[in-house]
């Protein structure tokens, strides 16, 4: 699909949405049938320190802020063990971008823990989670090729949200003005390097942060280009901005649910051979519409930990979500943090852990 056709579909009015959703749903069914999936996970906020200051973020902290913290390896192990006991398979390592670059006190803390960089500490955290029985998936912001290569043997998959390819959003007054790590060229380079390293990778688009429809299309086209070149993008997240009282963008208008659903449908039609997901806790009233729009996955859902990025938005109860899927004619089944088509890409040292987790959560290949 070219840019003009995608833009035309993104301008579909509400009254004509059913036709678009029907086409997107058919495209999904042709690929994955009547089966929707989710990843049972624990969310591990390794550190919420971050050098970026995105105008929509409540997760990031500076060292002196209330709530600033870095998880100890003991805490990582405790939460991971709890996840195993409650049927989880994924350990999501989520953290701020390279805080040691701007916070000397944090750099000193890392050295006291025996490492020089946050990436080195994440490696240790992944080892702990693996030993507890989970499969790590790291989303640590911008990483170098060397850092990704180092983390690959202890991660079955990794991720970085592309968010948006428009440099305009880095300008003064825009969502990414205070976030040097949100420079699109840097994120594109990391996605490409992950492909060169054959790392099963998750990326996505963050919608409603001040971008235009044309910039949404450009972002999805860039994801398509990268995947066609390297084939490693196992999943594309279509996520919406949510306003919160303590962010710079607290008065910024949110997308309406139907507008997000429209974007999901267009993403499905633009990326028919890829896994497309939308976080269910951010659109609790639109689950049935999201299914009709062509998602085949709900992403990670935790019975143990909250969504630390969106703490005001609780995860849906799995049984309730399963019943919603059934109303639309779909089953809901757990999956691993690496999709089955990428099992062969996983580091050989992790194959046993993948098999053990598949057996434990009752994963059955389609």
Q: What is the DSSP string of 228-263?
A: HHH--EEEEEEEE----TTSTTTTSPPPPHHHHHHH
Q: What pLDDT, on a 0 to 100 scale, did the predictor assign at position 246?
A: 82
Q: In the chain, which residue ranges form alpha helices assigned H by DSSP?
A: 3-10, 17-32, 73-85, 104-112, 118-132, 145-151, 184-196, 213-230, 257-270, 287-292, 318-327, 351-361
Q: What pLDDT, on a 0 to 100 scale, did the predictor assign at position 267?
A: 98
pLDDT, averaged per 10 consecutive residues of the chain (366 residues), comes to 94 95 98 96 93 87 89 96 94 93 93 95 98 97 97 98 96 92 96 98 96 97 98 96 85 90 98 96 91 96 72 74 96 95 96 94 75
Indicate the pTM of the whole model: 0.94
Cβ-Cβ contacts under 8 Å for 292 (sequence gap 6 or more): 21, 22, 24, 25, 261, 328
- Note every long-range contact of 345-352, with CB atoms under 8 Å and residues 24 or more positions apart, other chains counting: 345/198, 345/199, 345/200, 345/232, 346/156, 346/200, 347/152, 347/153, 347/156, 349/153, 350/130, 350/135, 350/153, 350/154, 350/156
Judged by DSSP in three states, 13 sits in coil
Cβ-Cβ contacts under 8 Å for 295 (sequence gap 6 or more): 28, 36, 238, 264, 268, 276, 277, 278
Q: What pLDDT, on a 0 to 100 scale, did the predictor assign at position 240?
A: 92
Please report the domains of the chain, with CATH numbers, ordered by start residue.
3-305+315-361 (3.20.20.70)
Other C-beta atoms lying within 10 Å of the C-beta of residue 53: 14
């Amino acid at each position: 699909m070219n840019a003009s056709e995608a833009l035309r579909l993104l301008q579909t009015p509400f009254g004509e949405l059913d036709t678009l959703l029907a086409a997107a749903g058919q495209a999904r069914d042709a690929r994955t049938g009547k089966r929707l999936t989710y990843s049972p996970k624990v969310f591990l906020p390794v550190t919420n320190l971050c050098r970026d200051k995105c105008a929509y973020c409540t997760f990031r902290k500076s060292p002196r802020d209330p709530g600033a913290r870095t998880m100890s390896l003991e805490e990582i192990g405790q939460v991971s063990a709890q996840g195993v006991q409650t049927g989880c398979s994924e350990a999501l390592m989520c953290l701020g971008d390279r805080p040691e670059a701007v916070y000397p006190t944090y750099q000193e803390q890392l050295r006291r823990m025996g490492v020089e960089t946050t990436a080195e500490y994440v490696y240790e955290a992944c080892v702990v989670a693996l030993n507890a029985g989970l499969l790590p998936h790291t989303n640590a912001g911008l990483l170098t090729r060397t850092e990704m290569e180092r983390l690959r043997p202890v991660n079955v998959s990794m991720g970085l949200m592309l968010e948006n390819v428009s440099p305009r959003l880095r300008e003064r007054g825009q969502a990414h003005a205070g976030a040097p790590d949100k420079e699109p060229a840097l994120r594109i380079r990391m996605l490409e390097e992950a492909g060169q390293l054959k790392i099963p990778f998750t990326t996505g688009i963050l919608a409603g942060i001040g971008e235009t429809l044309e910039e949404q299309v450009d972002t999805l086209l860039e994801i398509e280009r990268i995947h066609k070149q390297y084939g490693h993008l196992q999943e594309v997240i279509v996520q919406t901005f949510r306003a919160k009282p303590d962010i710079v963008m607290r008065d910024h208008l949110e997308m309406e649910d139907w507008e997000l659903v429209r974007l999901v449908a267009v993403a499905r039609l633009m990326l028919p051979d890829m896994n497309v997901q939308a976080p269910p806790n951010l659109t609790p009233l639109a689950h049935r519409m999201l299914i009709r729009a062509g998602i085949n996955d709900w992403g990670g859902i935790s019975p143990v930990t909250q969504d630390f990025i969106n703490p005001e938005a609780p995860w849906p109860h799995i049984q309730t979500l399963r019943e919603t899927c059934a109303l639309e004619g779909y089953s809901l089944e757990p999956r691993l943090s690496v999709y089955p088509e990428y099992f062969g890409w996983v580091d050989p040292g992790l194959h046993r852990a993948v098999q053990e987790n598949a057996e434990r959560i009752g994963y059955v290949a389609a």
